[in-house]
Amino acid sequence: MASIIEIEQRLSQIKSILNKKRNKIDQEMYDLIDERRILNRKISLMKGEETAIPIKTTFPQDVGAPLPHVVSNGYKTCLLYYIGTSNPEWDESANIIHELDPQSKDYVALIQFERCYSIRFGGVNDEVLHGHPLYEHGLEGYEMHEIKNSSWTNEQKKINSVHSNFKQELWDARKHYFFTFHDDIFECIANDYVVQVFRGKLSSVMLLANEMLFSD
């Protein structure tokens, strides 16, 4: 296993090569960028720093127009977006498809977050993602992530630690999820998530999500 020093040396080499290739876009450049992202993620974890770990799914977002919507009541939270059916990671056979409109060419992911503690939505788009603090710590565009060593989760845990009934194990079970969309980012602190995939319009799935908020 490479040491931190060895990884830092390789990152320095990659930076030097990319600087020389600034005006030359080719496959080597893309490969180096991918390697840099992987190494940044690895070194961040080794140092115990905040790190974005991609969660590869079978329900990838539409890159151009995912149109993410959030429905939440402070305890239950649902995230909805259009699936990118041209994405090679999209696997219809790996998902149970709920047919709202069998003639529709649209697929919508509805993600219910279990025991959702807090959410953040909006802000950073794909044109400025490289300015986000987590970009140099593994954050990717158009992806779902889990944030390890989350500063947001630690901040919220510290606030709650003053409560007389504070339980460390409850916070140990919570995860920081982070989605990067074309025009927005979505984050939440929750225990887990459940995904449903629908064929039909996003507006129709929104009605179902609203009903879920009021169900037991």
Residue 89 domain boundaries: 50-213
Residue 41 shares a structural domain with residue 61? no
Rounded CA separation 115/138 (Å):
26
Residues 29 and 105 placed together within one structural domain of the fold: no
Looking at the structure, tell me whether residues 153 and 200 fall in a common domain. yes
pLDDT score, position 1: 73
pLDDT tens-digit series, residues 147-192: 999 999 999 999 999 999 999 999 999 999 999 999 999 999 999 9
Tokens of 107: 């697929």
Q: Are 96 and 33 within one domain?
A: no
Q: Is 23 exposed, middle or buried (0-12, 13-18, 19+ CB in 10 A)?
A: exposed
Q: Are residues 36 and 136 in the same domain?
A: no
Q: What is the pLDDT of residue 216?
A: 65
> Does residue 112 share a domain with residue 167?
yes
Query: What Å distances lie between residue 155 and 69, 189, 190, 192, CA to CA?
Result: 26, 12, 15, 20
Report which of 109, 101, 113, 120 is spatially closest to residue 61, judged by C-alpha positions.
109
Residue by residue, DSSP assigns 60-116 as PBPSS----EEEE-SS-EEEEEEB-TTSTT--GGGSPEEES-TT---EEEEEEEET-
Residues 15 and 64 in one domain: no
Sign, Cα dihedral of 55, 59, 64, 67? negative
Are 42 and 54 within one domain?
A: no
CA distance 14 to 94: 37
- CA–CA gap between residue 130 and residue 124 (Å, rounded): 10
Sites in the chain below the pLDDT cut of 70: 216
Same domain? 111 vs 37: no
- CA-to-CA distance for 121 and 70, rounded, in angstroms? 8
Q: Tell me the three state secondary structure of residue 198.
A: strand
One domain for residues 61 and 43: no
Encoded tokens for 131:
């300015």
Question: How high is the pLDDT of residue 26?
Answer: 83
Per the structure, the count of domains in the chain is 2
Give the position of tokens 């909006």.
Answer: 122
Q: Are residues 135 and 34 in the same domain?
A: no
Q: Are residues 127 and 203 in the same domain?
A: yes
